[in-house]
Structure 1
Amino acid sequence: MCCLSIRIPCFKGLLLGLMAAVFWVSAGWAQQVAKQTSDPEPFEMIRSLQSLQEQIAQGNSHAMQAQRALLTKMDASFVVLPADAWQEPRNARAAVIHLLSGGHPDVMRYLLSLDPAPAVDRKLMEASLAYVEGREEDMIVLLAEIDPLELPASLGGHVALVKAAPYIRTDPEKAMELLQVASLLMPGTLVEEAALRREVFVAGMTGNVDRFRVLSIRYLRRFRTSVYAGDFRRRFALSLDTLGFVKSEDKFALLDDVLHEFDADSRRGLYLRLARSALLAGHLNVARKATGEALTLTVDGTKENEILKIYLAATRLDPEFITANRDLLWSIDKSILTAQDLAMLDGVYTVLNSVRHFPEPPPNVIGEFNVATNMDAPEDQSWVSADMELANVLLRRTGKSLAQLGEQDER
Structure 2
Amino acid sequence: MKAKLRQACFSCAQALVCLSVVVMGIVMGTPANGQALQDVAPLPPYKFVRSLQYVQDSVVLGDHSAGEVQRHLLKIVDSSLREADKQIFEDERNVDAALIYAMSGGNPQTLAHLVERDEDGHFDRRLTDALTIYFSGAPEKAQPMLLKLLPEYSQTRIGAYMILVAANVTATRNEIEALNLFDRARLVAPGTIIEESSLRRATHIASRVGDIDRSLDNAERYVRRFIHSPYASQFVDIFVHAIVLHSDAADRQRIDYILSLMDLPRQREIYLRMARMSTIAGKEEIALLAASRAEALSGEKRDVVRDLAGFYAGIAKVPTSNITEAIEAMTSIPDHKLSERDLALREAAKTIAKQVTAPPDLTSLEELMVPAIAPAGDPAVRADAETEQGEEDPEASMHGSFMASKREKLMNIDTLLNEESNE
Shorter-normalised TM-score: what interval?
0.5 to 0.7
* Matches of 2:237 and 2:265, distance apart in 1: 14
- Is 1:273 paired with 2:276? no
* Matches of 2:55 and 2:293, distance apart in 1: 38
The answer for the alignment partner of 1:168 in structure 2 is 171
For the pair shown, which has the larger CA radius of gyration, 1 or 2?
Answer: 1
The answer for the alignment partner of 1:108 in structure 2 is 111
* Matches of 2:326 and 2:114, distance apart in 1: 73
Q: How does 1:3-402 map to 2 (within 5 A)?
A: 37-147=40-150, 150-243=153-246, 245=247, 247=248, 251-279=251-279, 284-298=284-298, 300-312=301-313, 325=325, 329=329, 332-336=332-336, 337=338, 338-344=343-349
Q: Kindly state the Cα deviation for residue 183 of structure 1 after the two structures are TM-superposed.
A: 0.8
Listed as ranges, the gaps of 5+ residues in structure 1 are 1-33, 355-411
Give the residue type in structure 2 aligned to 1:295. Answer: E
**Residues 1:37 and 1:288: Cα distance change in structure 2 (over 3 Å):** same
Q: How well do the aligned residues superpose, as a CA RMSD in angstroms?
A: 3.5
Maintained 8 Å contact 2:311/2:330: no
What TM-score, normalized to structure 2? 0.64
Instruction: Report how many aligned residue pairs link the two structures.
Output: 316
Give the residue type in structure 2 aligned to 1:162. Answer: V
Give the residue type in structure 2 aligned to 1:308. Answer: A
**Residues 1:340 and 1:81: Cα distance change in structure 2 (over 3 Å):** closer
**Residues 1:211 and 1:330: Cα distance change in structure 2 (over 3 Å):** closer
Maintained 8 Å contact 1:271/1:291: yes
Maintained 8 Å contact 1:100/1:132: no
Q: Kindly state the Cα deviation for residue 277 of structure 1 after the two structures are TM-superposed.
A: 4.7
* Matches of 2:335 and 2:86, distance apart in 1: 68
* Matches of 2:330 and 2:144, distance apart in 1: 64
Q: Deviations over 1:70-107 (max 9, x none)?
A: 22222222233222221221211111111111222332
Q: Kindly state the Cα deviation for residue 301 of structure 1 after the two structures are TM-superposed.
A: 4.6
Listed as ranges, the gaps of 5+ residues in structure 2 are 1-36, 360-423
**Residues 1:114 and 1:346: Cα distance change in structure 2 (over 3 Å):** closer
Q: Deviations over 1:189-244 (max 9, x none)?
A: 1111111111111111111111111110100111111121111112222223332x
The answer for the alignment partner of 1:3 in structure 2 is none
**Residues 1:351 and 1:308: Cα distance change in structure 2 (over 3 Å):** farther
Q: Deviations over 1:226-271 (max 9, x none)?
A: 121111112222223332x1x47x7444421122223323322322
What TM-score, normalized to structure 1? 0.66
